[in-house]
Amino acid sequence: MKRRSVEAEARIENLKRFGACLAGGFVLALMVGTQEGTQQDFGYAFRQSVAMPRILIFLGIGVLLYLAITFGPRAKPYLTRPGLRPLGAGVLTVIISLTLLKWTDSPQINTGKFRPLADAAAPTQALDSLARLWFGSAFSQTAWLLLIIVTVLAAAGMIRRSAPLSYAAAILAGVLGIWAEYASAAVSKFLHYPSHATGGAVAMLGFFTIAVASLVSARSQAAEADTDGFIDRVLGWRPGLALVVLGFAVGLVGVFNAAWFSPGDRNATLSTTASMFGATNLNGFAQTYLDWLGFVLFFVTLVVAGVASYLRHRLLAYAAIVLGLVSTLLTLVVVHDFSALGGKQGFDGAQGAWDNLGTGAWMTCAALSLFAGAGYLVLKDLRIEAKGVRAGSDIVGSGTAGARGQVAAATMLVVIIAALFYPPTATEFWQTVLVSEIGIYVLLAIGLNVVVGWAGLLDLGFIAFYAIGSYTTAYFTGRLPVQPPDWLLLSPLACIPFAIAACLIAGVALGFPTLRLRGDYLAIVTLGFGEIIRVIANNANGFTNGPRGAFNIPAPQIHLGPIHLTWGDSALGFWYLLLVLIAIIVLLFNRLENSRLGRAWAAIREDEVAAQATGINTRNVKLLAFAIGASTSGVAGVFFASQVGSFTPENFVLNNSILVVAYVVFGGMGSLPGAMAGAAVLTWLPEFLKDQVPAEDRQMWIGALILVMMIFRPAGLIPARRRKAELSGLDRPSSAEATAVPAGEGM
């Protein structure tokens, strides 16, 4: 009887799970797509979402999810096979290229994505037959079918541990990658439109990832994948080699394929640009660079960095750093010279220096900088090894600890180089998003991370300090009804110290009355503080100009002797100014986190009573957390006011405070990189979704992403080390493989 009741309960649980998965597929059908209702028929979008056979696809996804949950434990041993993780990453990359990315920039193709392009390519007999075969037709798109075939073949080889199947999958994936890029190039050639769409290139990258995953599976002798150990071995084998390989791939595209000038018309590569300016009065050095010196600098720096990495040679590492940095500077000088000449002579509508440039020069600069970064990693590894030898440690630079340091340092370098050289290749829209959304909210997240992440004080009124910084800027630039003395009229950059001081005072004013409050009570008080500041700004017409706010705030300027710099012509200049401010603040806060004050904040966050019992002055430490976090928000306010030029109290509503808290939690509370990554991802995502889903659905997708993060990565995108240790332990095992134990150490 008891056994029957257990079986009955199991059946009921299975039915509940099956129903929940079908319901999830039904909700997904409502979420995916651009269908919208009308004023005359509110149910139109619903009927389009659940129309046959569309709804069957999403219900099938629900069934697959049910099977994965139900039989997942049985399949788990097979999911740890070598190569399966990179296989999943490769398949996901190809899916993104076939669904989200553009395959052409031509206005002849609606949206330029894969499906509209396939619909247009199918009946076009004049198109290259091989390219037409890749796109297939609207009802049977070959690319999707081939993706399914190669995925099944690669997965079967990995699960069955069959080398022939894995080799076959690797060969097929490599062919498909080349085919995808060829089809994309053939379409651009057929349309006679220079395309810089990334769909074909990303698909090629995804298929090549599948090929590499299959080769790893074919060559591996291990029963289980040891991803962390594999990364440690690869990066620890030769420091900086990963950056050399990445720089080589980026540089090849930049030097030989990408446009350097006039991307919308002539699409001139490096050699074509040399021919274009050959008959002009371009200075000799710039012409020499375009003719042959650029190629020589790239390959010489590549060889020096590669040899330095392979031999772990100190002098060659220094040479790679010098060559990489000098070559980058020379490239920028040459780009300025020929673009200025192009603007002066009106080449293809160019209006001045840095105008009408393609992606080639910036990709080349990124590659040269990566080579310099590889030299830096070699020196870092040698320094760690020397310290280990002097200390008599068993762990040296080339070991596991050194490899983990290599991962962190290499990631940091890649992020810095991307921040420097990606924005010029972006459209004006994305450059504006980088500044007005991502950059400013990264600053706010850094400041709030001090209060919420490090000190553990929940602040829901943080946007008030942002408002104080903005109004301080408006006051000292003379854009409020109350004017400062003539000798105090300042440029926005000169307002930064005053904004920091005002926010420090406001932070202390908020913190002092709330010292005894914790948790929800503190959150309610800070929420009220934020609303008080907004209401005062809205009602104090004689000082803040009331609901009309401040306007005509000047752009930042620097006038020091012969140096005259003015921002405001484009978002790109603001980005680099903001990048300098972020770099300074991150360096200061990184030192602060590891200081005595940072450790005191951590102690208060974990247990305030215990911290006070150990002698920490909790009052002063909490006040400092409020004040220092507020000061960063003041800097963001200065930048915001000078960048947008005008604002009203409605820019500082409660919703913005809650968003900043969400960014910090999403990225990882207490983690400085996590707070920055969370702000960047969650401010980028709504803008990206503008072209993917109806405006009304964006928040739904963001909410779904946050729910997934809460379930599968509760510590955040880049969790703090302490938080990660609480959830999964402090150290990861060096290998997933079983190790032998000496007989003397057995039981």
725 pLDDT more than 70? no
Residues 383 and 516 in one domain: no
Overall average pLDDT of the 459-464 stretch: 88
| Per-residue pLDDT reduced to its tens digit, 662-671 | 999 999 888 8
Q: Which two tokens stand for residue 240?
A: 């900086």
Q: Which residues does residue 557 pair with via DSSP β-bridges, in sequence order? A: 566
Chosen domain end from 405, 425, 445: 425
User: Quick one: pLDDT band at residue 565, thresholds 50, 70, 90?
Assistant: confident
Are the C-beta atoms of residues 366 and 421 closer than 8 Å to each other?
A: yes
pLDDT digits (tens, 9 = 90+) for 487-507: 888 888 889 999 999 999 998
Tokens 């590499």 found at: 212
Same domain? 120 vs 101: yes
Query: How many CB atoms are located within 10 Å of the residue 76 CB?
Result: 9
Burial class (CB in 10 A: 0-12, 13-18, 19+), 31: middle
Phi, psi of 359 (to 5 degrees): -90, -15
Among residues 180, 204, 224, which one ends one of the domains? 224
pLDDT score recorded for residue 235? 63
Query: Is 589 part of any domain?
Result: yes
Among 286-290, 567-571, 616-620, the least confident range = 567-571
Q: Which position has the higher pLDDT, 657 or 570?
A: 657
Before 53, cis peptide (omega within 30)? yes
Task: Report phi then psi at 463, rounded to 5.
Answer: -65, -15
Residue listed under structure tokens 């729910």: 707
Q: Which of 328, 372, 369, 336 is nearest to 355 (CA)?
A: 336
The DSSP line for 562-603 is: TEEEE--S-HHHHHHHHHHHHHHHHHHHHHHHTSHHHHHHHH
Residue 556 has pLDDT above 60, yes or no: yes
**Quick check: is 378 in a domain?**
yes
Are residues 363 and 491 located together in one domain of the fold?
no
What type of residue sits at position 53? P
Instruction: Give the pTM.
Output: 0.81
Q: Domain containing 621: what range?
A: 429-652
Residue 724 lies in a domain: no
Are residues 589 and 442 located together in one domain of the fold?
Answer: yes
Q: Please check whether residue 343 is in contact with residue 302, taking contact to mean a CB–CB distance below 8 angstroms.
A: no
Residue 177, pLDDT above cutoff 60: yes
| Domain assignment present for 545 | yes
Q: Is the pLDDT of residue 206 over 70?
A: yes
CB atoms under 10 Å from CB of 425, counted, come to 19
Q: Which amino acid is residue 649, in one-letter code?
A: P
pLDDT value for 501: 93
Provide the residue type at 93 as one letter: T
404 or 611: which carries more pLDDT confidence? 611
CA distance 90 to 207: 6
Inform me whether the pLDDT recorded for 738 exceeds 60. no
pLDDT score of 434: 87
Q: Quick check: 149 pLDDT over 80?
A: yes
Give the model's pLDDT for residue 304: 96
Task: Give the count of domains, the chain.
Answer: 4
Same domain assignment for residues 108 and 58 = no
* Whether 629 contacts 507, CB under 8 Å: yes
Most confident of 73-77, 125-129, 159-163, 276-280: 159-163
For position 720, what pLDDT does the model report?
Answer: 78
Specify the pLDDT at position 354.
83
User: Do both 412 and 383 map to the same domain?
Assistant: yes
Q: Which two tokens stand for residue 329?
A: 């500077």
Q: Read off the pLDDT band of 9 (50, 70, 90).
A: confident
- The whole-number average pLDDT for the span 86-108 is 86
d(CA 505, CA 259): 52
For 29-62, what is each residue's pLDDT tens digit? 887 776 666 666 767 777 888 887 888 888 888 8
The sign of the torsion formed by the CA atoms of 365, 371, 377, 383 equals: negative
Of the listed ranges 291-305, 319-333, 688-702, the one predicted with least confidence: 688-702
**pLDDT number for residue 103:** 86
Both 527 and 645 in a single domain?
A: yes
Report yes or no on 64 lying in a domain.
yes
550 within a domain of the structure (yes/no): yes
The pLDDT assigned to 281 comes to 82
CA 441 to CA 443: how far, in whole Å?
Answer: 5
Phi then psi for 182, rounded to 5 degrees? -65, -45
Residues 347, 454 within the same domain: no
Residues 598-615 have a mean pLDDT of: 88
Q: Look at residue 38 in the predicted model and tell me its pLDDT.
A: 67
Residue 282 has pLDDT above 90, yes or no: no
Question: In sequence order, what are the beta bridge partners of 550?
Answer: 647
124/676 Cα distance (integer angstroms): 47
Q: What is the pLDDT of residues 313-363, one digit of tens each?
A: 999 999 999 999 999 999 999 999 988 888 887 776 677 778 888 889 999
pLDDT score recorded for residue 231: 62
Query: Across the chain, what does the average pLDDT equal?
Result: 83
DSSP string, 634-674: HHHHHHHHHHHS-B-GGGG-HHHHHHHHHHHHHH-TT-HHH
Domain boundary among 598, 632, 652: 652
Lowest mean pLDDT across 149-153, 585-589, 685-689: 685-689
- The predicted pLDDT at position 411 comes to 85
- Judge if 506 and 372 occupy the same domain: no
Confidence (pLDDT) at 295: 94
Please, which pLDDT band fits residue 389 given cuts at 50, 70 and 90?
low
Tell whether 481 and 420 lie within a shared domain.
Answer: no
Residues 82 and 221: beta-carbon distance below 8 Å: no
Let me know whether 288 and 196 are in one domain: no
Residue 739's pLDDT band, with cuts at 50, 70 and 90, is very low
Question: Is the same domain home to 328 and 206?
Answer: no
Q: How does residue 522 score in pLDDT terms, banded at 50, 70 and 90?
A: confident
Residues forming a β-bridge with 670: none
Q: Pick from 268, 309, 306, 311: which is nearest to 290 by CA?
A: 268
| 721 falls within a domain | no
* Percentage, residues of the chain above pLDDT 70: 87
* Domain contains 636: yes
In three-state form (DSSP H/G/I as H, E/B as E, the rest C), the secondary structure along 697-747 is: HHHHHHHHHHHHHHHHCCCCCCCCHHHHHHHHCCCCCCCCCCCCCCHHHCC
**Phi/psi of residue 113, nearest 5 degrees:** -85, 175
Provide mean pLDDT across the span 588-603.
Answer: 89
